[in-house]
Homo-oligomer: A and B are copies of this chain.
Amino acid sequence: MADASGILGEYKLKIDKALSDFFDRKIKDAEAIDSSAADIMKSLKEFNLRGGKRIRPALMIHGYKCFGKPAEKDIISASLAVELMEGFLLIHDDVTDQDDLRRGGPTFHKIYERRYSSLKRISPKRFGENIAIVAADIQNSLANEALAMSNFPAENINSALKKYHEIALKTESGWLIETMIYAKPASEVTEKDVMKVNTFKTAAYTIEGPLHMGAMLAGTGEDNIKTLSSFAMPLGQAFQLQDDILGMFGDEKKLGKPVGSDLKEGKITLLIVKALEKANEEDKKTLLDALGNKDLARKELDGVRKIIKDTGSLDYSRKLAEKLINQAKRALEKADFRKEGKDFLIGIADFLIKREY
């Protein structure tokens, strides 16, 4: 059995190095244009290197390794595309969600809101958001460039680029679906609604997309792409369920963010849906009052956690996540993939469900 967590750690170092070098080149290019363009590149570098497990590029690399042995340098360069895509999506997401914190530091718009707090002709808040909107667009282009410039056959790059935009479209559709679902009363949101959001908003760009892009760079055929989907979709769902559980019951130090923040933001996870289904009227009221309450006290959060446990909702999510992980692993059983790639995928499935951060 491959030590997927160890391999992930090794690749994190390599990916971080490549990401840092990539941005240093971009900063240099931008300096030739204008100091303000260079300044944005520097901020993007800091933002992208601030944290992250690099699961997506590691999956892209091993999506390739299921079908061929790439030159290490080439596949790492190409894999920056999915890491940069995530950053681009997060920057826009933080603006739309009006979040202040990301990866233990200020969100991108907050960096500029604070740095230009004495602006007069435009409000610093507006200015910060404007810079973030455009900086994320820049990063989206950098992501495409990382892939387009990579050292693989043009046909394969082309397929991977098409996939990039198919995933981006799915993720953005997932965001839209979520936004519209949240416009209805929380007690009417169903398990099906939540799983649909998770499929489009998370599973596609976290697991399936990176694997497909790697596999496509290796030039594999439609059958293998389908097998990867059968692995990726349940794993992506399980990943999100585990994320929700950690967000509610995890260790703040390991997570690097306060527990309960999903709840405070009004995010309706499967934990909430199932707890609302089973709770008595009083507990239901407690849950609904807590949902979206930005000033939620620790005591109230503990009350919510107790309800999620007592109603069996936590168990429900845990068991569903386990079931999905097993489903994912079974999908690979008969797959005739190269050992190095396949072992990592099976190992990472176990890691993603057992992780504490």
Contacts and interface: CB of A to CB of B under 8 A. Distances in A.
Interface in A141-175: 141-142, 144-145, 148-149, 153-155, 157-158, 161-162, 164-166, 168-169, 172-173, 175
Interface stretch (A33-41, A99-107, A237-245, A281-289): A33-41
In terms of DSSP, what is the predominant structure of the interface of chain A?
helix
Contacts of A1: none
Interface in A73-116: 92, 95-96, 98, 116
Contacts of A180: 34, 36
Contacts of A155: 154
Nearest to A119: B183
Nearest to A168: B141
A165 B177 contact: no
A131 interface: yes
A124 B116 CA distance: 26
A176 B34 contact: yes
A134 B176 contact: yes
A98 B175 CA distance: 23
A130 interface: yes
A162 B141 CA distance: 9
Contacts of A157: 154, 158
A30 interface: yes
A176 B37 contact: yes
A42 B119 CA distance: 38
Contact of A137 (B158, B166, B172): B172
A92 B95 CA distance: 13
A266 B161 contact: no
Given A40-B176, A96-B133, A145-B166, 4 more contacts: A121-B266, A131-B176, A148-B158, A158-B161
Interface of A: 30, 33-34, 36-37, 40, 92, 95-96, 98, 116, 119, 121, 126-127, 129-131, 133-134, 137-138, 140-142, 144-145, 148-149, 153-155, 157-158, 161-162, 164-166, 168-169, 172-173, 175-177, 179-180, 182-183, 196, 200, 266, 292
The 9 closest A-B pairs by CB, nearest first: A141-B165, A96-B130, A36-B180, A154-B154, A37-B173, A154-B155, A141-B168, A144-B165, A148-B162
